[in-house]
Amino acid sequence: MAQLQWLQRMWQELHELPINSLLSLLFCLFSILFIFKLLRRGKPKYHLPPSPPKLPIIGNLHQFGSLPHRSLRVLSKKYGPVMLLELGHVNTLVVSSVDMARELMKTQDIDFANRPQNTAAKILLYGCTDIGFAHYGEYWRQAKKICVLELLSIKRVQSFQHIREEEVAVLGDKIRKACVTQTPVNVSEMLIEISDNIISRCTLGQKIAEEDGKMTFGQLSRQVMVQLMKFCLGDFFPYLAWVDVLTGFISSVEGTFKELDRFFDQVIEDHKTIMESGVVDQSNKKDFVDILLHLQRDGMLDFAFTKDNLKAILLDMFLGGADTTSTALEWIMAELIKNPKIMKKAQDEIRGIVGKKSHIDLDDISKMDYLKCVINESLRLHPPTTLLTPRETATTVKFGGYDIPPKTTVFVNTWAIQRDPAVWENPDEFIPERFKNSPFDFRGQDFEFHPFGGGRRKCPGLAFAAASLDFLIANLLCWFDWRLPGDNVKPEDLDMDEIYGLTVPKKHHLYAIPTLYSA
């Protein structure tokens, strides 16, 4: 009754208004109703995947956790292998089963071929014109083709073997000095240094540390990795992007980019000078800068390839190769030191193949079947990137019976899949023998085991990484025995805590005492 009386009074008041005022008011009311109707129509009704309860404004950000691969596995057990989260204003799909990973990376690979591009990546990676963050399209296809055929082919990977051998020799000398004094060595730091030096020499033709000890590219690349992973408010709440300017985040990233750009300019100019002088013309001695400059100079590229494109790909090669390799090496050594019987079995195989030779060659590596089982098992338990580099939908996609809206970020929880008890027996135990005569390998076709991803977006540097892992571990195990520092320390008590970042390394560096092996 009260509502009826209110409407009657409003109708009387409207009649008393001048005609122009009445028309203006009616126009405003109809405009508001029309806008509301459009807004309701503008939001299609999706059949969305299940989602955990959300908090206002932040959505599910609080459930992402400090170790997202672990937090998301717990949530997926409750909400299913296809789960939708809202991270601020960003729809985020999490895939946590073999079948759904296969569907995403094989059957519907092209539907999920884009990459989300965050603020830091757009600044640091030359507008995301690298391989890792570039959107799927003609530029990405051509750039990847260059990398796969010219930079990361099996033949090219083998051509860099002399670099691996030289760096392993330097590392071996350092370890031998520690053997004399029986002092612990920081294995983690040692593996980071050799990984950085190998990829830096292959990419730029120089080590990241100059002889005077002054860090150049190594320091800058680490700043890049930190900033790519740093929380940026504008990426999750676009209307708060101005806060990132006030906090200094944007100026910090831009400062890193300017230093990095100057460094690349100098490297490229140095290479051009040498190339024009004709001093170096041995293909097996060329680094990535040489190769790209020759392709550009000789008109062998089928698309416009700018200097900025070249620099973006160079940075991509380093970021994609150095940190993932050192992280994988660290976990392999940690698992072997924690499991001395397995380490002894691997050493017996390696030493039996090498015999009395003073060095290990590629033919020896090809015969080390148990070593490959050890590496595979460590990659299963500790994939360097536990959540594959995210993908993004360009349009609405039907997936797993659900509607996935456009601009949805997509994570595949590789860590959870590779520890799925439905696929792996005793999934949390380190058992290399499970890979003996196993049908699974890490080339990206077996979605039960895909530490380097799969489909169009799998890691193009897979062959490069495999060559480094095999050769470095074989040398560390062949010439040295390893034990934890301390008289009463049991190998099984070695901590295996993780820390999340661009990769997922051990939280605490691995220290061990080396002893020179004598037959």
Angle CA 33–39–44, to nearest 5: 135
**Average confidence (pLDDT) over 289-304:** 86
pLDDT band at 44 (very low <50, low <70, confident <90, very high): low
Per-residue model confidence as pLDDT tens digits over 367-411:
999 999 999 999 999 999 999 889 999 999 999 999 999 999 999
How far is residue 128's CA from residue 109's CA, in Å, rounded to a whole number?
A: 21
Which pLDDT score is estimated for 518?
85
Looking at the predicted structure, is the pLDDT value of residue 213 above 90? no
* Averaged pLDDT for residues 98-106: 96
**Confidence (pLDDT) at 286:** 87
The CA–CA distances, whole Å, from 432 to 374, 459, 487 equal: 5, 23, 28
Q: Is a pLDDT exceeding 90 seen at residue 124?
A: yes
Is 447 in a helix, a strand, or coil? Answer: coil
Q: What is the mean pLDDT of residues 182-210?
A: 89
Q: Which residues pair with 209 in a beta bridge?
A: 215
Helices and strands of the chain, counted as H and E runs = 20, 9
In terms of C-beta density within 10 A (0-12 exposed, 13-18 middle, 19 or more buried), how is residue 49 classed? buried
pLDDT band for position 89 (cuts 50, 70, 90) = very high
Cα(75)–Cα(97) distance, integer angstroms? 13
Mean pLDDT across 294-311: 86
Place of tokens 């991803």: 453
In tens, the pLDDT along 103-122 reads: 999 999 999 999 999 999 99
Per-residue pLDDT, 510: 97
Can you give the pLDDT at residue 282?
54
Residue 320 makes CB contacts below 8 A (sequence gap 6+) with: 131, 132, 459, 461
Let me know: does 514 contact 482? Beta carbons within 8 Å. yes
pLDDT tens for each residue of 429-457: 999 999 998 888 877 688 999 999 999 99
- Residue 348: pLDDT band (50, 70, 90) is very high
CA–CA separation, 342 and 368 (whole Å): 14
CA-nearest of 363, 333, 325 to 203 is 325
**Looking at residue 226, what is its pLDDT?**
83
- pLDDT score of 300 more than 90: no
Three-state secondary-structure class, residue 148? helix
Distance in angstroms (rounded) separating the CA atoms of residues 322 and 312: 16
Query: Quick one: DSSP state of residue 434?
Result: G
**CA within 13 Å, CB half, 46:** 19
Lowest mean pLDDT among 116-120, 190-194, 215-219, 473-477: 215-219
Burial class (CB in 10 A: 0-12, 13-18, 19+), 200: buried
Alpha helices in 439-489 (DSSP H): 462-479
Residue 232, annotated as binding a ligand: no
Query: The tokens of 1 are what?
Result: 């009754």
Residues with Cβ within 8 Å of 347's Cβ and at least 6 positions away in sequence, in order, are: 477, 478, 481, 517
* Cβ 485 vs Cβ 512: under 8 Å: yes
pLDDT class of 209 with cuts at 50, 70, 90: low
Tokens representing 316 are 């991509």
Higher pLDDT, 346 or 280: 346
Tell me which of 26-35, 221-230, 374-383, 419-428 is least confident. 26-35
pLDDT, mean of residues 238-242: 93
Which pLDDT does position 440 carry in this prediction? 84
As a whole number of angstroms, the distance between CA 331 and CA 325 comes to 10
Phi, psi of 197 (to 5 degrees): -70, -40
Write the DSSP symbol of residue 498.
B
Write down the pLDDT at residue 223: 83
pLDDT at 5 over 50: no
Tell me the CA distances in angstroms from 41 to 31, 37, 38, 217, 232, one per residue in order.
15, 6, 5, 52, 31
Please say if the pLDDT value at position 7 is more than 50.
Answer: no
Distance in angstroms (rounded) separating the CA atoms of residues 435 and 10: 80
Percent of the chain topping pLDDT 70: 89
| CA Rg value for the chain | 28
CA 467 to chain centre: 19
CA angle 233–237–243, rounded 5-degree value: 45
* 265-291 tens-digit pLDDT: 999 999 999 888 876 555 457 899 999
